[in-house]
């Protein structure tokens, strides 16, 4: 089961582990389904974290006079 507030890096690593295990085809169906469910939950959490991080990203924009200002990243 995914843990709350797990880092994106750890989540991606766990997703990679799950994918490798599922691709091996060596698990029983019930265990494969359990891992698939874990992967889906991790994927949803990663998406939420990425959306939150995206909102924090700022883009530096050069003004005509050479100064820079911060703007929110445009979608």
Helix (H) / strand (E) element for 17: namely helix 8-24
- Say whether pTM exceeds 0.75: no
Residue 5 scores a pLDDT above 80: no
Q: How far apart are CA 11 and CA 48, in angstroms?
A: 12
Task: Give the residue extent of every domain in the chain.
Answer: 8-72
3-7, 22-26, 27-31, 48-52: least confident range: 3-7
Q: What residues have CB less than 8 Å from 8, skipping those under 6 apart?
A: 46, 49, 50, 53
Task: Give tens-digit pLDDT for 28-75.
Answer: 999 999 999 999 999 999 999 998 887 777 776 767 777 877 777 666
Please, where are the H alpha helices in 1-75?
8-24, 29-56
């Amino acid at each position: 089961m995914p843990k709350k507030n797990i880092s994106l890096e750890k989540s991606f690593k766990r997703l990679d582990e799950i994918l490798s295990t599922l691709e091996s085809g060596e698990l029983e169906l019930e265990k494969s389904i359990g891992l698939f469910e874990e992967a889906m939950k991790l994927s949803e959490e990663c998406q939420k974290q990425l959306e939150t991080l995206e909102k924090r990203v700022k883009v530096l924009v050069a003004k005509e006079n050479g100064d820079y200002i911060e703007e929110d990243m445009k979608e």
